[in-house]
């Protein structure tokens, strides 16, 4: 099962032009996704104003995306390269599947947590901090990683003839989490509509903090929507062909799902002025540190000459 094989069949063969196009896209996703998600993580870690409940969820999601862009994508590039020669790298495919399943599970669960967190922030603003504390959220996010190891472990130990059962379990789990997301946003939008109507009746202006909460909720909704768009092809593919995890159509759906990991950082920076300012400050700080080191070295050389 874990030995590399060479077979003259569809599983280990892809067209040359198509494979080159796939790898070009994969390399682009790897670079943009890895750099983008690393910048997101560093920005949150180095900016005190961004160290809040929502940012912790974004950090968790970015780490999951890094698994995809820094491990799964390079594995896929290697896999596709050898398929040009009709060779299946079973070990590498196995690693890519395990890490990819873990990344997907963490992403969906984190999006569900973010949806509930945003819902409580809008629907129950007065008691929000009582329900959602920093300690509770961090504990939940850490435990989510332990829980999400179930999916890759099932994929590792389920026999091929029982693969349909595993796929069914995965799809039901994702469906439950998406129901949680949809219900949370249904309550959220209902609350926003009522609050907007009440303010119009009172002719009162919306507070800056409340507007920020709503903008953040819309950003989370955009991230969820993009996740759904990018992951829908492979979910549909798995539903109709659970036993056939190879072929050109399968690889394209995998690439589409992985592309989502490279898109999220651009959403954060496009939607959040705080993120953009923080990144600019970090780069300026890095440039100043570099200039100071150069000045110290130059000064040291000048002193030695004297």
3-state secondary structure 21-89: HHHHHHHHHHHHHHHHHHHHHHHHHHCHHHCCHHHHHHHHHHHHHHHHHHHHHHHHHHHHHHHCCCEEC
The pLDDT of residue 278 is above 80: no
The pLDDT of residue 2 is above 50: no
Q: How many CB atoms sit inside 10 A of residue 56's CB? A: 21
How many domains does the chain divide into? 1
Question: Whole-number mean pLDDT of the chain?
Answer: 76
Q: What was the pLDDT predicted at 50? A: 76
22: Cα within 13 Å, side-chain hemisphere: 29
Confirm whether 7 is domain-assigned. Answer: no
Closest CA to 156 of 101, 76, 87, 78: 101
- Max avg pLDDT among 60-64, 130-134, 160-164: 60-64
Confidence of residue 174 (pLDDT cuts 50, 70, 90): confident
- Summarize pLDDT for 206-236 with one digit per residue, the tens: 455 556 666 777 777 788 888 888 888 887 8
Q: What was the pLDDT predicted at 4? A: 42
- Max avg pLDDT among 89-93, 217-221, 253-257: 253-257
Number of H helices, E strands in the chain: 11, 2
Confirm whether 131 is domain-assigned. Answer: yes
- Summarize pLDDT for 34-56 with one digit per residue, the tens: 998 898 888 888 887 777 888 88
> Residue 161 carries which DSSP code?
G
Mean pLDDT computed over 159-179: 72
Confirm whether 289 is domain-assigned. Answer: no
Confidence of residue 7 (pLDDT cuts 50, 70, 90): very low
Confirm whether 294 is domain-assigned. Answer: no
Domain that residue 115 falls in: 13-283
Confirm whether 254 is domain-assigned. Answer: yes
- Summarize pLDDT for 112-159 with one digit per residue, the tens: 888 888 788 777 777 777 778 888 888 888 888 888 877 667 666 666
Mean pLDDT computed over 253-267: 86
Confirm whether 54 is domain-assigned. Answer: yes
Q: Higher-confidence residue: 170 or 113?
A: 113
Q: What was the pLDDT predicted at 49? A: 77
**Is the CB of residue 64 less than 8 Å from the CB of residue 6?**
no
Q: What was the pLDDT predicted at 156? A: 60
Confirm whether 8 is domain-assigned. Answer: no
Q: What was the pLDDT predicted at 306? A: 43
The helix/strand/coil state of 281 is helix
How far, in Å, are 6, 96, 102, 103, 241 from residue 19 at the CA level? 17, 17, 26, 24, 22
Confidence of residue 27 (pLDDT cuts 50, 70, 90): very high
Q: What was the pLDDT predicted at 292? A: 55
Q: What is the CATH number of the domain that holds 227?
A: 1.20.1070.10
Closest CA to 195 of 117, 115, 122: 122
pTM to 2 decimal places: 0.77
The pLDDT of residue 92 is above 80: yes
Confirm whether 2 is domain-assigned. Answer: no
The pLDDT of residue 5 is above 50: no
Q: What was the pLDDT predicted at 144? A: 84
Burial class of residue 171, CB neighbours in 10 A (0-12, 13-18, 19+):
middle
How large a percentage of the chain has pLDDT more than 90?
Answer: 4
Q: What was the pLDDT predicted at 31? A: 92
The pLDDT of residue 6 is above 50: no
Structure tokens at 27: 């390399």
């Amino acid at each position: 099962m874990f030995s590399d094989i060479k077979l003259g069949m569809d599983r280990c063969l892809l067209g040359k032009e198509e494979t080159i196009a796939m790898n070009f896209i994969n390399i682009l996703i790897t670079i943009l996704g890895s750099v983008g998600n690393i910048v997101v993580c560093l920005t949150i870690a180095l900016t005190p104003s961004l160290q809040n409940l929502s940012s912790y969820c974004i950090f968790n999601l970015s780490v999951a995306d890094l698994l995809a862009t820094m491990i799964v994508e390079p594995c896929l590039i290697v896999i596709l390269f050898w398929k040009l020669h009709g060779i299946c790298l079973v070990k590498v495919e196995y690693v890519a599947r395990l890490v990819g399943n873990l990344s997907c599970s963490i992403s969906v669960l984190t999006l569900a947590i973010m949806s509930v967190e945003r819902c409580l922030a809008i629907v129950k603003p007065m008691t929000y901090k009582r329900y959602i504390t920093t300690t509770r959220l961090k504990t939940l996010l850490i435990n989510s990683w332990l829980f999400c190891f179930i999916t890759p472990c099932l994929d590792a130990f389920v026999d091929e003839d029982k693969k349909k059962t595993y796929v069914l379990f995965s799809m039901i789990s994702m469906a439950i989490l998406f129901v949680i997301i949809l219900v949370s946003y249904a309550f959220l939008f209902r609350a926003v509509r009522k609050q907007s109507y009440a303010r119009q009746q009172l002719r009162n202006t919306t507070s800056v903090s409340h507007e920020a909460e709503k903008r953040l909720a819309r950003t989370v909704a955009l991230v969820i929507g993009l996740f759904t768009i990018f992951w829908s092809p492979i979910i549909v593919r798995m539903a109709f062909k659970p036993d056939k995890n190879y072929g050109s159509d399968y690889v394209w759906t995998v690439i589409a799902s992985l592309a989502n990991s490279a898109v999220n950082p651009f959403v954060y920076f496009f939607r959040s002025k705080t993120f953009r300012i923080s990144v600019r400050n970090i780069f300026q700080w890095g440039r100043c540190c570099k200039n100071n080191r150069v000045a110290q070295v130059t000064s040291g050389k000048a002193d030695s000459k004297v």
